């Protein structure tokens, strides 16, 4: 009996919607726009998060760097912390020997900041950065060699005059050829090009495509300066082991630096995924804004739906009186109009969800991410439509249910 009554209410609701096509369509459209904004933007944000994680993983997001503490600074408590001593080459080597975690360890140092590179009659602008690295440096920095090869262990130990060029330098000096096997000059010292890095692009004004990497011992020999500061890079084999690796590295390097127990460490660990986490954290504000916009749109849709339902009650007063005269109960009339409101909301919401998924995955396609089915946002859209239908339809439905049948039959 209850099933037949539900089917009948749905049938009556569909006929009513059909008789008020324009008003129902406009309300459905407003609801669809709200749900589309919510599902579309949130799906796009999920795609962006996935893309950011993928990009930073490929760039070594499961890595971290051990570096000296920055210059003297004041803590929140007002205590002044002095800058610690630089990390020496020997300390970096000792760490590599003592660190027994399943990870790749690399040592690097910055040799020069604004060098000019020459080849034959060509030279670059004085904006080239020289780095000293070992055979693991390319891997831990998330870079790829597009042509040539990486350093060998013997070249690192001997400090051979070989180098790996950023793609922009190779294009400038070798007319878009790779340049592998050619010679360049840095401070009038010749270096053989053994590899060229794959293009990376610029970020925040800095470009890894203008870097030259030479063996770390070559920097110690040809770019030596007092109190050089080295950095240690660690790349874990499994991203899930990153936190454990950080803890192990902290303990190991405290021992290497002879940091006293109970005292702050004389170095800091900078995780490579910190930037990706910051970006993802900032996307939270976009999510909140999108949700607010969608809720405001749905509020407008709810007001519009309530107006339509009130008009519908007025126009169908005589019909309501006839139904009551034939024995329809208040609850039956209430459910009939409530079903109509819910049906309008769900139809509009369904259309909005489809549009939202399409728009969100269009963004996903444009940024090179994978196709996403946002089940959570879809269920949220359906739930919101249900709540809007109840909120907007209850008062008109209640008003219809309370109409006096005799007065309703007299209504013109």
Q: How confident is the model at residue 204 (pLDDT cuts 50, 70, 90)?
A: very low
Location of structure tokens 């060029």: 165
- Give me the phi and psi of 275, to 5 degrees please: -70, -40
Average pLDDT of the residues in 341-353: 88
What is the overall mean pLDDT for the chain? Answer: 83
- Gyration radius of the chain's alpha carbons: 34
Residue 341 in tokens: 């409101």
Out of 133-137, 200-204, 289-293, least confident range: 200-204
For 7, 33, 74, 360, the CA distances from 365, given in Å and listed in that order, are 42, 22, 46, 9
Residue 115 and residue 214 in contact, taking contact as beta carbons nearer than 8 Å: no
Q: How far apart are CA 290 and CA 297, in angstroms?
A: 11
CA 315 to chain centre: 51
Q: How confident is the model at residue 153 (pLDDT cuts 50, 70, 90)?
A: very high
Tell me the percentage of the chain whose pLDDT exceeds 70: 86
Average pLDDT of the residues in 36-58: 76
CA 231 to chain centre: 28
Residue 19 in tokens: 């008789």
Q: How confident is the model at residue 205 (pLDDT cuts 50, 70, 90)?
A: very low
Q: DSSP assignment of 68-129, as one string?
A: E--S-EE-TTS-EEPPPPPPPHHHHHHHHHH--SSEEEEEEEEEEEEE-EEETTEE--S-EE
Residues 6+ apart with CB under 8 A from 31: 298, 301, 305, 344, 345, 348, 349, 352, 385, 388
Give start and end residues of each alpha helix (H) in 210-273: 216-222, 242-257
Q: How far apart are CA 156 and CA 215, in angstroms?
A: 5
DSSP 224: -
Across the strands, what pairs with 215? 133
The pLDDT tens digits of the residues spanning 254-268 come to: 999 999 888 889 999
Residue 262 and residue 2 in contact, taking contact as beta carbons nearer than 8 Å: no
The answer to whether the Cα torsion of 382, 9, 26, 300 is positive or negative is negative
Out of 28-32, 129-133, 141-145, 301-305, least confident range: 301-305
Residues 6+ apart with CB under 8 A from 147: 178, 180, 195, 196
What is the bridge-based pairing of β-strands 162-165 and 122-123?
A: unpaired
Highest mean pLDDT: which range of 55-64, 67-76, 164-173, 402-411: 164-173
Residue extents of the structural domains in the chain: 2-56+278-410, 63-272
For 31, 135, 350, the CA distances from 295, given in Å and listed in that order, are 10, 54, 16
Residue 352 and residue 43 in contact, taking contact as beta carbons nearer than 8 Å: no
Q: How confident is the model at residue 276 (pLDDT cuts 50, 70, 90)?
A: low
Across the strands, what pairs with 270? 65
Q: How far apart are CA 216 and CA 212, in angstroms?
A: 12
Quickly count: other Cβ atoms within 10 Å of residue 99's Cβ. 19
CA 137 to chain centre: 26
What is the bridge-based pairing of β-strands 211-215 and 128-133?
A: parallel
Write down the pLDDT at residue 124. Answer: 92
Location of structure tokens 């010679």: 183
Write down the pLDDT at residue 203. Answer: 47
Residue 52 pLDDT more than 80? no
Residue 401 in tokens: 């249910």
The pLDDT tens digits of the residues spanning 295-345 come to: 887 788 788 778 877 877 777 777 777 777 777 777 877 888 888 888 888
């Amino acid at each position: 009996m209850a099933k037949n009554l539900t089917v009948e209410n749905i049938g009556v609701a569909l006929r009513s919607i059909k008789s008020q096509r324009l008003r129902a369509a406009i309300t459905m459209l407003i609801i669809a726009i709200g749900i589309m904004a919510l599902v579309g933007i949130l799906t796009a944000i999920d795609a962006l998060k996935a893309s950011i994680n993928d990009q930073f993983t490929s760039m070594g997001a499961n890595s971290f760097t051990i570096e000296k503490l920055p210059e003297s600074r004041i803590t929140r408590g007002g205590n002044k912390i002095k800058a610690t001593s630089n990390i020496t080459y020997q300390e970096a080597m000792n760490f590599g020997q003592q660190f027994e975690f399943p990870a790749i360890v690399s040592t690097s140092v910055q040799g020069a900041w604004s060098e000019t590179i020459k080849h034959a009659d060509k030279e670059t602008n004085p904006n080239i950065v020289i780095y000293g690295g070992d055979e693991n440096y390319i891997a831990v920095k998330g870079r790829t060699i597009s042509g040539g090869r990486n350093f060998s262990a013997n070249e690192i130990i001997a400090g051979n005059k070989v180098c790996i060029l950023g793609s922009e330098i190779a294009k400038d000096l070798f007319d878009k050829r790779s340049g592998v096997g050619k010679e360049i000059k840095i401070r009038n010292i010749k270096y053989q090009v053994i590899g060229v890095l794959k293009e990376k692009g610029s970020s925040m004004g800095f470009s890894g495509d203008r870097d030259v990497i030479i063996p770390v011992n070559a920097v110690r020999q040809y770019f030596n300066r007092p109190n050089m500061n080295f950095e240690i890079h660690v790349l874990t084999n499994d991203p899930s082991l990153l936190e454990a690796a950080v803890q192990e590295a902290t303990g190991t390097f405290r021992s290497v630096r002879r940091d006293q127990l109970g005292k702050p460490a004389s170095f800091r660990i900078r995780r490579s995924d910190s930037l990706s986490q910051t970006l993802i954290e900032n996307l939270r504000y976009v999510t909140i804004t999108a949700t607010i916009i969608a809720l405001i749109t749905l509020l407008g849709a709810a007001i519009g739906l309530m107006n339509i339902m009130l008009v519908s009650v007025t126009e169908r007063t005589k019909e309501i009186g006839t139904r009551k005269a034939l024995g329809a109960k208040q609850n039956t009339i209430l459910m009939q109009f409530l079903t109509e409101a819910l049906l309008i909301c769900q139809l509009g919401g369904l259309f909005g969800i489809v549009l939202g998924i399409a728009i969100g995955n269009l963004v996903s396609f444009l940024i090179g991410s994978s196709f996403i089915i946002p089940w959570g946002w879809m269920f949220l859209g359906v739930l919101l439509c249900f709540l809007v239908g109840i909120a907007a339809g209850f008062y008109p439905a209640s008003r219809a249910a309370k109409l006096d049948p005799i007065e309703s039959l007299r209504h013109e």
